[in-house]
């Protein structure tokens, strides 16, 4: 009899703790206080906005399940392979770069990419029939309104420092007067239109007469670019950025369709707000 009473008390206590941890219930699925606190810290948001982000994520998860959307392992691998290729890296070097930049393991990276691909398929399913391609007038108007966004340097004069040892290369970045025979140098002119968008973005963010962050070189070593000169900025012609403009217009339209869709879904869904972090 005593054992039965103890079991009942223990069960009640565990259930009470479980309920205490639940902050919001979305169509029967729980969001905990801990989930909200993590999102607040990750995105730097107040509790209510962090909770709204998590509700949206939960609604997406439910939609993905109800629509029976899936992503095969091969699709995840192909996405990783493309990312590695764009950065001139092998897949193993790409895993290494991700691990060193944000501490994410290859398993965690695959899970993140799978979730991204699931969301992309869901967004396409929702927005496909509601979005039309922009016409020439739309594209020209967008270009004329956002010309400043299409001005970029024509090129960069750089010194590329390469080393097998990241620590040794970091010494060079921290102290430009430092010399080591283990560090190779290569001075180059890099035309903006001839380099990858990722590298162009990295160089644009780096101040004149300073080093970029250290990145993998795709050959098992590391590299950093020293910016000697930034060549005069120039305006991109409409035709050279037409595809970019189309993507931006389509992206804006898609986000509007998705926002409206999930706003309606949220309005009609069974959502119970129990408590919020203090």
- The C-alpha atoms of residue 218 and residue 222 are separated, in whole angstroms, by 8
Beta strands in the chain (DSSP E): 22-26, 29-32, 151-153, 155-163, 184-191, 215-216, 222-230, 233-235, 271-273
> Topology of 155-231 in CATH?
Chitinase A; domain 3 (3.10.50)
Q: Which residues contact 143 (CB under 8 A, 6 or more apart)?
A: 150, 238, 241, 245
Other Cβ atoms within 10 Å of 118 Cβ, number: 19
Hey, is 5 helix, strand or coil?
helix
Q: Which pLDDT value is given to residue 78?
A: 95
- Determine the pLDDT at residue 98: 85
What is the tens place of the pLDDT at every residue in 158-216?
999 999 988 999 999 999 888 888 999 999 999 988 888 888 889 999 999 999 999 88
Measure the CA–CA gap between 42 and 57, rounded to whole angstroms. 15
pLDDT of residue 112: 93
pLDDT, residue 12, reads: 43
Residue 162 is predicted with a pLDDT of 94
Three-state DSSP class for 234?
A: strand
- pLDDT at position 8: 46
* Residue ranges in the chain modelled with pLDDT below 70: 1-20
Q: What is the pLDDT of residues 80-102, one digit of tens each?
A: 999 888 777 888 888 888 887 77
pTM value is 0.66
Beta strand ranges found along 53-154 (DSSP E): 151-153
- Which two structure tokens, joined as six digits, stand for 269? 């869904």
From the list 246, 275, 277, the residue with the least C-alpha distance to 23 is 275
Taking alpha carbons only, the member of 157, 171, 79, 158 closest to residue 118 is: 79
């Amino acid at each position: 009899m005593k054992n039965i009473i103890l079991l009942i008390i223990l069960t009640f206590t565990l259930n009470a703790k479980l309920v205490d941890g639940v902050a919001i219930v979305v169509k029967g699925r729980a969001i905990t206080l801990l989930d909200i606190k993590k999102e607040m810290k990750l995105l730097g948001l107040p509790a209510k906005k962090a909770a709204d982000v998590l509700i949206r994520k939960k609604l997406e998860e439910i939609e993905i399940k109800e629509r029976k959307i899936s992503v095969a392992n091969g699709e995840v691998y192909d996405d990783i392979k493309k990312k590695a290729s764009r950065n001139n890296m092998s897949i193993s070097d790409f895993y290494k770069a991700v691990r060193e930049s944000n501490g994410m393991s290859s398993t965690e990276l695959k899970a993140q990419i799978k979730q991204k691909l699931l969301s992309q398929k869901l967004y396409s399913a929702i927005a496909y029939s509601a979005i039309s391609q922009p016409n020439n007038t739309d594209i020209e108007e967008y270009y004329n309104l956002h010309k400043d966004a299409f001005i970029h340097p024509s090129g960069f004069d750089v010194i590329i420092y390469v080393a097998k040892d990241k620590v040794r290369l970091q010494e060079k970045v921290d102290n430009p007067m430092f010399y080591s025979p283990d560090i190779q140098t290569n001075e180059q002119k890099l035309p903006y239109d001839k380099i990858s968008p990722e590298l162009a973005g990295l160089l644009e963010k780096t101040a004149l007469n300073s080093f970029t962050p250290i990145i993998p070189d795709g050959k098992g070593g590391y590299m950093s670019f020293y910016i000697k000169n930034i060549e005069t900025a120039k305006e991109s012609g409409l035709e050279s950025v037409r595809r970019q403009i189309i993507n931006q217009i389509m992206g804006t339209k898609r986000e509007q369709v998705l926002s409206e869709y999930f706003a309606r879904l949220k309005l009609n869904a069974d959502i119970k707000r129990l408590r919020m972090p203090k």
